[in-house]
């Protein structure tokens, strides 16, 4: 039976490249001269440190711009609350979301069932497996899920006949 998986994956190497480009731009921009702004990342967690809220906002904008240029949608970034750091600095932790969480997977399954498509859905870890008898039904399902406009960017992989 034909099937495919709905996932949300981010290439962490591209995230690394975007963070490095952001740090480089912060180092060369005139409005950041003499400031203690920096961007670091460890795996899927990015830490932004800045002098004040305004500079933090500017760094976030630069980071988003670099992510978009590296073909990473800003929807995968989960911004935590801004917190005070030592030395009158502010810090914000940004997590790169990987995988489809259970709540979103349930929404996707419910939406597909509500469309009365002739397919079956199953949640498998951080992915949703969709199976059907006809390839056309699966392609219609992909179109419906894309059109639903979920906040997390989704990819459709392992399309098998």
Digit-coded pLDDT (tens) for 57-105: 999 999 999 999 999 888 888 889 989 888 888 999 999 988 888 888 8
Question: Would you call 63 exposed, middle or buried from its count of C-beta atoms within 10 A (0-12, 13-18, 19+)?
Answer: buried
Q: Has residue 115 got a pLDDT over 90?
A: no
User: Could you tell me the CA-to-CA distances from 17 to 21, 25, 30, 38, 95 in Å, in that order?
Assistant: 6, 12, 22, 15, 16
The count of domains in the chain is: 2
Q: How far apart are CA 56 and CA 50, in angstroms?
A: 5
CATH of the domain at 121: 3.30.70.860
Whether the predicted model's global pTM rises above the 0.85 cut: no
Q: What is the pLDDT of residue 117?
A: 82
19 and 71 share a domain? yes
Q: Which domain holds residue 57?
A: 12-96
Q: Of 41, 64, 96, which one is at a domain's C-terminal end?
A: 96
Residue 100 CB coordination number (10 Å): 26
CA angle 34, 54, 76 (to 5 degrees): 110
Mean pLDDT of all residues in 123-147: 87
């Amino acid at each position: 039976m034909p099937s495919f998986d709905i996932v949300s994956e981010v290439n962490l190497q591209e995230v690394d490249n975007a963070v490095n480009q952001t740090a480089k731009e912060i180092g060369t921009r005139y409005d950041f001269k003499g400031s203690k702004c920096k961007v670091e990342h460890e795996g899927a967690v990015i830490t932004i440190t800045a002098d004040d809220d305004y500079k933090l906002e500017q760094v976030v904008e630069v980071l988003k711009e670099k992510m978009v240029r590296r073909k990473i949608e800003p929807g995968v970034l989960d911004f935590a609350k801004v917190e005070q750091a030592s030395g009158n600095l502010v810090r914000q932790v940004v997590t790169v979301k990987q995988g489809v969480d259970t709540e979103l997977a349930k929404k996707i399954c419910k939406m597909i069932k509500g469309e009365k498509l002739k397919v079956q859905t199953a949640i498998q870890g951080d992915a949703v497996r969709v199976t059907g008898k006809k390839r056309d039904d699966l392609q219609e399902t992909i179109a419906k899920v894309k059109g639903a406009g979920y906040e997390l960017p989704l990819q459709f992989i392992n399309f098998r006949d």
